Amino acid sequence: MTVESGSTFFTGTWNFLHSLISGNIPDPQTRNKKWIFGAFPDVEGPNFPGYPIITIDNPKASVSQSSWTTNSIMENKLNTTVIVYSKTSTELNTINNQIYTTVKDNEPAFTASGINFETNIPGADGVDVIGNQRIHWNEMIVNNRTMTM
């Protein structure tokens, strides 16, 4: 999958990260239901698979002209937040480790897709009561960049 700037920039980046995570992170509950989402699902709906779940937010981008060149080369920075929700902190940590390793170990796949992997940084974390259940959650922010003319 190649991510290009323009009309497929956000969609292509999200699809690439979703494909990478869903293809490498096994569902610890071995459910035959979707458990990786683009937004937090309806926990009271009939299709909610239960926990754990992963959400991948839409990428956020900033664009700037490169300072090291007089040409019109633009640097596009992307930040995509991946959030894991689980009933236990142990399971949360296991899934977070798997995501971190998958993203880090697939740096060549990022490059081949047209985006450069920069860093994984921690985001917010916490414990909330969601649907009468105590749920642990943790954010990981995947930073990438592309260069366009």
Residues in the chain where the model's pLDDT stays below 50: 1-5
pLDDT in tens, 54-81: 999 988 877 666 565 566 666 777 888 9
- Chain CA centroid to CA 37, Å: 10
pLDDT score for 77: 79
pLDDT score for 106: 87
Amino acid present at 40: F
Nearest of 11, 56, 59 to residue 35 by alpha carbon: 56
pLDDT score for 5: 47
What whole-number distance in Å separates Cα of residue 75 and Cα of residue 62? 8
For residues 10-44, b (16+ Cβ closer than 10 Å) or e, as one string?
eebbbebbbebbeeebebeeeeeeebbeeeebeee
